[in-house]
Structure 1
């Protein structure tokens, strides 16, 4: 039997899929994800009973749904992480075209559920938010295009990826969903920067984002109201931001205790966008720091493993995915402590939400696939293959 040594892992040809996956997957990142999901279930027991009571459901109706969606998300995550990177790339590109079509058709077939933004498809038993699924597959598509542009005779992938990013941002702005649009711009910028893009291009993109923000402020009452509320010196005590900041302040170092928090009774989105406020009030700063440490652990482990990766596509896609995950977590927690304007964005693997959980499972599955330990071959062979064996 042939054995190939790579780092501290021995990869054996002919080895069964599951043992090989377990030997090569980043188990630290996997453990962090499972810990975040467990914390999400724990916080669901604290935050969702008031919502269930208001909607006439059993006290733990939403916890059971979160566990079911989370089970699907973890299953998808493990399945995707077992696939070869080439297969993940192909599935990601096909999924990208499907997700773009789904987002483009929202004005025709979508619904706003009374929230003023058409972001969902109603499936009867549940809802589907296609922009959540668009984010990871866009990263794969953009990384594929940018990596291909670095090949001799390759396509103009950087220009194509920029055009596609602008198109997607336009679709999302029409909903309106400026938060997801910002994530798309950020993911593209990270991929472009890691690929060695001229800084001038990134400054131009940043300028265009600023112009877009001014246009949105002047033409969207919803967007302007959130910006004005963020910039105001006084916070309306009857807003979700005020309730969240009060809860975080009252929680202190160790919190009020399990079930002793009150913010879940006043915050409509306590189980989703403001789940960190529930964590801070009932379990204190200690749990919040643990959550932050888990996201930081995922980011650091992934970046260190991707630094050793020689395949440009894998390096770009993996960096884009981990940046997307950690930025979304930062935005969610930043809103709760009023570092950022209010934005409806979930905390990955912690907040309640079917589309968010499953889409995050796909994204992390791709990340685990790209960061698996694999034989890299000799660097000379890699360069030879990359330049057409000339």
Structure 2
């Protein structure tokens, strides 16, 4: 009877999840990530057969594994990118706790696979590197603490995050894994800067980093050997750096041809840490510049979208994720061309590696979620509005 008198109210249905996700996602970044993964598979066909032959597998055994783990990474990436910032924060906190416990237990339960650094858990069919999964969780937890410190009567989040990063760096240095430690410290510094750290404090932290490097050089044979090799003007042609440098030189502008490269037969890590050397030798400078362009656009475009973000947590966390993504690519390629000391660090979505691929999918999924278009004004409007309110109260 009520409906006959007053009529029925139209049902207010929300926009379905997938259409809303597709409308608000950064499509160009998503496409470029898929292109990077495709390039990784292409280079895998060139770099993996020598290793497969050495270990008694089918020629493209590692390519198939990369495709399998990469598919998982892409599914995880899309799944995480659908989440709201609140859900991203919850996932990040839970992931950080699990990864931190796994990192702390490495000296007891981990293995080094004969590489001199205890960084992995062996599962028989695969291995897991906790530090890879720690990075996105660390960014989320740190951003949460820094954002909370900006609230009235908020906790001392910046001091807490500083204690947290020192603890993690100490655990990583004990493995030793100075590359990941430096990456974690860099990400924290960028987020601290975005959260409003005084410049003198950042200078003081930089001084502490230099002093820490000097201490590591004097007390770690592993670290000192890497630095000495980097500073030595003469490159031993029989070392990994020598093989990589020669491959890049031989590739020229357009490469020696698909499948014609030789560096993959000499470098034990041609499919992981030195994958860019394979790209340079077989496909030349053209492909290397294309890869650099993809990483540059993804990083800069994400930072540009975050400049309009009004939520402090999303802005700080997104900046940390974007900068760590970009600097990891820079470190990997910088090592190959001898701009940086040798570091065991993969090229995101291009290098072979189950942990790095899946963890990269989580990190980029979080970045895509935090850079999605949401109904809000630019951050400048927020401060202008607050200023107008204050002027009104003063009147």
TM-score (norm 1): 0.94
> 1:135 and 2:118 equivalent?
no
The CA deviation at 1:248 is 0.3
- Where does residue 258 of structure 1 map in the other structure? 258
The CA deviation at 1:200 is 1.2
> 1:179 and 2:179 equivalent?
yes
1:286-338 Cα deviation digits (max 9, x unpaired): 00000000001101210111011000110000000000000000000000000
Residues 196 and 256 (structure 1), Cα distance of their counterparts in 2 relative to 1, 3 Å cut? same
Q: What are the equivalent positions in structure 2 for 1:196-211 lying under 5 Å apart?
A: 196-211=196-211
- Where does residue 240 of structure 2 map in the other structure? 240
> 1:99 and 2:99 equivalent?
yes
List alignment gaps of at least 5 residues for structure 2.
Answer: 1-11
- Where does residue 122 of structure 1 map in the other structure? 122
Q: Which secondary structure state, in structure 2, belongs to the residue aligned with residue 21 of structure 1?
A: helix
Q: Which secondary structure state, in structure 1, belongs to the residue aligned with residue 59 of structure 2?
A: coil
The CA deviation at 1:93 is 1.1
- Where does residue 65 of structure 2 map in the other structure? 65
Q: CA RMSD in A?
A: 1.7
> 1:352 and 2:355 equivalent?
no
Once residues 241 and 379 of structure 1 are traced to their aligned partners in structure 2, the CA distance between those partners, rounded to angstroms, is 51
Q: Which secondary structure state, in structure 2, belongs to the residue aligned with residue 367 of structure 1?
A: helix
List alignment gaps of at least 5 residues for structure 1.
Answer: 1-11
The CA deviation at 1:35 is 0.4
- Where does residue 88 of structure 2 map in the other structure? 88
> 1:155 and 2:155 equivalent?
yes
TM-score (norm 2): 0.93
- Where does residue 301 of structure 1 map in the other structure? 301
Q: What are the equivalent positions in structure 2 for 1:1-390 lying under 5 Å apart?
A: 14-376=14-376, 379=382
Once residues 30 and 264 of structure 1 are traced to their aligned partners in structure 2, the CA distance between those partners, rounded to angstroms, is 30
The CA deviation at 1:381 is 11
Residues 233 and 313 (structure 1), Cα distance of their counterparts in 2 relative to 1, 3 Å cut? same
Once residues 382 and 108 of structure 1 are traced to their aligned partners in structure 2, the CA distance between those partners, rounded to angstroms, is 55
Residues 383 and 107 (structure 1), Cα distance of their counterparts in 2 relative to 1, 3 Å cut? farther
Once residues 339 and 54 of structure 2 are traced to their aligned partners in structure 1, the CA distance between those partners, rounded to angstroms, is 30
- Where does residue 6 of structure 1 map in the other structure? none
Once residues 296 and 367 of structure 1 are traced to their aligned partners in structure 2, the CA distance between those partners, rounded to angstroms, is 15
Once residues 128 and 284 of structure 2 are traced to their aligned partners in structure 1, the CA distance between those partners, rounded to angstroms, is 33
The CA deviation at 1:379 is 3.3
The CA deviation at 1:211 is 1.2
The CA deviation at 1:236 is 1.1
Once residues 29 and 202 of structure 2 are traced to their aligned partners in structure 1, the CA distance between those partners, rounded to angstroms, is 30
The CA deviation at 1:383 is 5.8
Once residues 99 and 383 of structure 1 are traced to their aligned partners in structure 2, the CA distance between those partners, rounded to angstroms, is 40
1:79-102 Cα deviation digits (max 9, x unpaired): 000011101001101211111111
The CA deviation at 1:47 is 0.4
Aligned residues: 375
Q: Which secondary structure state, in structure 2, belongs to the residue aligned with residue 155 of structure 1?
A: coil
Once residues 156 and 15 of structure 2 are traced to their aligned partners in structure 1, the CA distance between those partners, rounded to angstroms, is 40
Which structure would you say has the larger Rg? 2
Residues 153 and 277 (structure 1), Cα distance of their counterparts in 2 relative to 1, 3 Å cut? same
Once residues 259 and 383 of structure 2 are traced to their aligned partners in structure 1, the CA distance between those partners, rounded to angstroms, is 60
The CA deviation at 1:229 is 0.4
1:109-147 Cα deviation digits (max 9, x unpaired): 100001110000111110000000001110111111001
Q: Which secondary structure state, in structure 1, belongs to the residue aligned with residue 348 of structure 2?
A: coil
